Amino acid sequence: MNDVVSPGAARLFDGQHWHENAALRIEAGRVVEVCPAADPQVDMLVPGFVDLQVNGGGGVQFNEAPTPEALAQIVEAHRAGGTTALLATLITDTPGITAAAIAATRAARAAGQEGLAGLHLEGPHLDPRRKGTHAPGLIRPMEQGDLDAILAAAPDCGHLLVTLAPEAATAQQIAALVAGGVQVSLGHSDCTAEEASLAFAAGASMVTHLFNAMSQLGHRAPGLVGAALAAPSVHVGLIADGFHVADIAMQVALRGKAGPGRVFLVSDAMAATGSELTQITLNGRTIHRAGGRLTLADGTLAGADITLLDAVRYCHYQLGLALDEALRMAALYPAEAAGLAGKGHLGRGADADFLLMDKDLRLTSLWVAGKERWAA
């Protein structure tokens, strides 16, 4: 048996339970079992994080550089924040840039790009009334050619996730996407709760960055927020950076969301994350970086300036969430939401993607398939 044993940890979290003085036995890049460690070398060993919304990092914005080389840089930048698998995210852009992003993802995956789980197309089929930072001139309803292009990309882009608004795509189009292996998430929408429910019935199974760029929860008009929280099997992403969503709203969502659909963390990171840049560009517009915020000239939030590890720390230290639950929100729950088998936990047969951290949640090293890929 050609196996290896990970560094031992005083505490090992497998995605469900904590183990004291433990390590991982690994074979062919997968977990065989949790085993005892007589002399632990680190404080904590936890599952690698899974980020379903990464627009850029390390000075690279996917929209501005839709190439396999850019994807490699983005993956590398997010390793410093604990992410072992991510969906490269393209914000609303021209058909040409969208095609280039699909081609880049296809090529990177074919070349075996480690850590790239797939592609997230956030737009352009959104509601301009809830555009956020998306360029309004590029937002448009879904047409047959768009549907055909997305379906053609599904077989070889890894996991393909599409964020759309029910106002910009029909229930029949949503059903066709899902039947073709594409996951549909609702976002950037001013839809009613009833319209959202019809989209969920058609196969939409996720909501993109809850509370942001969507119809809010009112006592007579529950909106997309209310529909998302009430739907047991619908997963919802959350940006926990202290700017996008107030702490009280996050706590209400975490307490109110029940069922197999969970609240998971996303970074929504832009090119500035992991770099010293003070300005970046998107669709020809300048995004300013200051005080932990990214904004357009008019003050509109334009993505986030965090990693998933930052979000875990925020949930644990600021919101008071139990550490195991904060870790699940960054690893197990997004993996479950996207159906990424073997990711987000360290049970038998899982991918041996894990993090070593100290007791203050500082990352010391990151491992993918049982091999060290980043170290502080």
Give the residue numbers annotated as catalytic, written as ranges: 268
User: How far, in Å, CA of 264 to CA of 159, rounded?
Assistant: 17
Distance of CA 247 to the CA centre of its chain: 20
Would you state the structure tokens that stand for residue 230, as one six-digit string?
A: 């009430």
Decide if 177 contacts 144 (C-beta within 8 A). Answer: no
- Hey, CA dihedral for 75, 76, 81, 82, is it positive or negative? positive
Would you state the structure tokens that stand for residue 79, as one six-digit string?
A: 């390793």
Nearest one of 191, 193, 197 to 233, comparing CA atoms? 197
- Which residue carries 């049970």 as its tokens? 347
